[in-house]
Amino acid sequence: MTDPEDGPTFHPTRRDVIAAGAVVPIAMALPPGAAAQSPSVAAASGRVAVSLTINGTQHVLTIDPRTTLLDLLREHLDLTGTKKGCDQGQCGACTVLSDGRRINSCLTFAVMFEGRHITTIEGLAAGGTLHPLQQAFIDHDAFQCGYCTPGQLCSAAGLMAEGRAKTPDEIRELMSGNICRCGAYPNIVAAIQQAMGRS
């Protein structure tokens, strides 16, 4: 569409606005006569390279800088053991380890972990041998539906590395960020105690 006085103008349709999201207002702000950049070009030009070591394997990817660590793991690397629960950092289903420290991967951008070592549930076992926590969860029947279990295991591994939990009450307090909707909490605590005793 052309304005006789100002030259070409950009009039997005409702479909353009929905499809392009935040890119359309930027295009609309262009001076009269300037070519509006398409959403696909704008998105592609903003991608960044990131290098992470995940479960002992280095990965170099080009991603949108807004990609969360959780989405990078699940959507880009097909490591679907890490679960997307609340997507707000409240349930703990997405817990992974960054250099041994437990984090909610849904709340962090992947680019923040450039050069870091990430461990997911797929990386806990070593050479086909279950991690002591994994075996303890089996021994104590510490899961039912299993959806929260990967996050529980990664969080418990981080908890053990921290060395702060000595009693059942301390374990419960320091694992409180991981929700089990099936209510297997007594079994989870018992499993962690067993793994702590064997490590």
pLDDT tens across the length of the chain (199 residues): 445 455 555 555 555 545 544 433 333 333 444 444 444 444 455 999 999 999 999 999 999 999 999 999 999 999 999 999 999 999 999 999 999 999 999 999 999 999 999 999 999 998 889 999 999 999 999 999 999 999 999 999 999 999 999 999 999 999 999 999 999 999 999 999 999 986 5
Query: 92 near 177, Cβ under 8 Å?
Result: yes
State residue 23's pLDDT score: 39
Query: 164 near 136, Cβ under 8 Å?
Result: no
Domain positions in the chain are: 2-45, 48-198
pTM of the model: 0.76
State residue 154's pLDDT score: 98
User: How far is the C-alpha of 134 from the C-alpha of 169, rounded, in Å?
Assistant: 21
Residue 107 tokens, joined:
């709340």
CATH match for 48-198 among 3.10.20.30, 3.40.50.300, 3.30.450.150, 3.40.50.12160: 3.10.20.30
State residue 48's pLDDT score: 96
State residue 128's pLDDT score: 87
Beta strands in 35-148 (DSSP E): 48-54, 57-63, 95-98, 101-104, 117-119
How many other C-beta atoms can be found within 10 angstroms of the C-beta atom of residue 55? Answer: 18
